[in-house]
Amino acid sequence: MKQVYVNGGYTTKFGELWKRDFRDLGVEAAVNAVQNSKINLQDIDVLYVANMAASHYTGQDHLGALFATELGLDCPAFHIEAACASGSAAIRAGFLDLLSGSSENALILGVEKMTDVNTKNATEGLSGASDEEWEAFYGVTFPSLYAMIAREHMNRYGTSHEQLAMCSVKNHKHGTLNPDAHFQKEITVEQVLRSPVVADPLKLFDSSPISDGAAAIVMSSKKKSEIRLIASGHAQDSLALHDRKDITILEATIKAKERAFKQSKLKNKDIDIMEVHDCFSIAEILAYEDLGFVEKGKGGQFVESGDTQMDGSIPTNLSGGLKAAGHPVGATGVKQAVEIVKQLTGKAGKRQVQKDMKYGLTHNIGGSGATCIVNIFEKI
C-alpha cells in the first residue's frame, strides 16, 4: 500500500496584514513550503488551493489557475472549499490523490485575505458557511450559533463562564511563543469575563479574530521525511443547527474521528498532541468531548485540569489555536498540520513539547459543525 509523507511546511504571519495582498501571501507560503521540502517546484504534480471566500473578499475566483500561474506550474490545480474546514479538506484531497497513484507530489496551499473589507462584509462572507435560507437570512451569525450551543451546554452540564475563558487563556499563553500568531499577548480569565459580550454567553475574548494569512505543505508518495499522514476522516452533519437532534454534540466530529481512527488503527491513548478547532471557546470544549478524550459534559473540567497545557497529558493548540494564532479560514486546517509536523519533528521552537511524541491529530470544523475533518500524522 502506498504511503503519504509530509515533506515540508510553512506558515506566513497571521494577522491584520493590510500591506500584504492575497496573491503575495499564497505565493510566500507555497514557495517556502516547497523550499523546505526535498523536491523542486517543477516536481509538483498537483496543486490544491484551500479558500472559503476569495470571491466575496477580493473578487477573485479560479484560484487553482491563479496560483498555478503565480508559481509557474502547468499541473492540475483545484480550488477546495469546505468553509472553515477548507484547509483540511484540501489536505484530504491531496492524500487521496497520492494514495490513488495519480500524483507523486502534491502542494497544498491554504490562504485567506479577510481584513480588507469592513466587519459587515466580513460577517456576510462568513455567513455563507451557515444555512443562508434558514439562518443567515434571519440575521443569525456564527457567534450567535455557537452561543446557542454554549448556553445549552452550560444549562445541561454546568459548564461555567470561567471554564470557557480558560480555553482562551491557554491558547493566548501558547500564542505568545508563536512568532507567526495574530495575538502574542497573555490574557487572564478576568479579562475574558470582562470583555464585551458578542452573543451571550460568548464574549469578545471567547472568539477567534478575523485574520489574513496563508499556510502550505508538500506531500509525497515517496519517502523524503520522517512524517506520514496515516489517516483522514471526513464526515458531515446538517448544515443548519436547528436540524440536529442535540446541538451540544457535533456528530460530524464523532464520525470523522471514528473513520480516522479506524484507518490508523489507533485509540485516543495513542495521540500525543492535537490542534483542535476553537473558533469559539465552546468549540474547543466540544472537541475534547466529541473526539472522545472525555465524556460528554466534562470538556470544561478537562480544560480546567490543565491536561491540555503544553506540559499536560495531551497538549492542545500549541500554535495558539484559532483564538490566538488567528483564523484566516482557508489557511487554518493547513496551519494545524504545519504545527503538528513541527512538534513531531522537534522544530517548534519555544513552544516545543518536551516529550517523545509519535502521533499528532488535527481537528477542523466547517460552519457550526456541518463538516469535520480529522487528520492523523505519524513520526516514523
What are the grid coordinates assigned to 202, written together?
460568548
**Residue 16 is assigned to a structural domain of this protein:** yes
**Residue 72 is assigned to a structural domain of this protein:** yes
Burial of 18 from C-beta contacts in 10 A (0-12 / 13-18 / 19+): exposed
End-to-end CA distance of the chain: 16
234 catalytic residue (yes or no): no
Domain count, the chain: 1
**Residue 334 is assigned to a structural domain of this protein:** no
Distances (CA, A) of 237 to 18, 226, 250, 257, 319: 36, 34, 8, 14, 28
Angle, in degrees to the nearest 10, between helices 281-290 and 251-264: 50
75 catalytic residue (yes or no): no
Domain that residue 30 falls in = 5-118+211-220
What are the grid coordinates assigned to 79, written together?
480550488
**Residue 177 is assigned to a structural domain of this protein:** no
Catalytic residue, chosen from 153, 327, 363, 372, is 327
Residue entry with cell 479579562: 191
Distances (CA, A) of 15 to 77, 179, 182, 278, 331: 27, 11, 4, 17, 12
DSSP strand pairing (46-50 vs 105-112): parallel
**Residue 348 is assigned to a structural domain of this protein:** no
Distances (CA, A) of 257 to 140, 240, 250, 302, 308: 28, 21, 11, 19, 18
* Integer Cα distance of 81 and 191 in angstroms: 35
**Residue 133 is assigned to a structural domain of this protein:** no
**Residue 64 is assigned to a structural domain of this protein:** yes
- The per-residue pLDDT string of the chain (380 residues; one tens digit each, 9 = 90 and over) reads 789 999 989 999 999 999 999 999 999 999 999 999 989 999 999 999 999 999 999 999 999 999 999 999 999 999 999 999 999 999 999 999 999 999 999 999 999 999 999 888 888 899 999 999 999 999 999 999 999 999 999 999 999 999 999 999 999 999 999 999 999 999 999 999 999 999 999 999 999 999 999 999 999 999 889 999 999 999 999 999 999 999 999 999 999 999 999 999 999 999 999 999 999 999 999 999 999 999 999 999 999 999 999 999 999 999 999 999 999 999 999 999 999 999 999 999 999 999 999 999 999 999 999 999 999 999 99
What are the grid coordinates assigned to 55, written together?
470571491
Catalytic residue, chosen from 79, 84, 174, 279, is 84
The pLDDT of residue 123 is 87
CATH number for 56 = 3.40.47.10
**Residue 28 is assigned to a structural domain of this protein:** yes
* Integer Cα distance of 379 and 229 in angstroms: 9
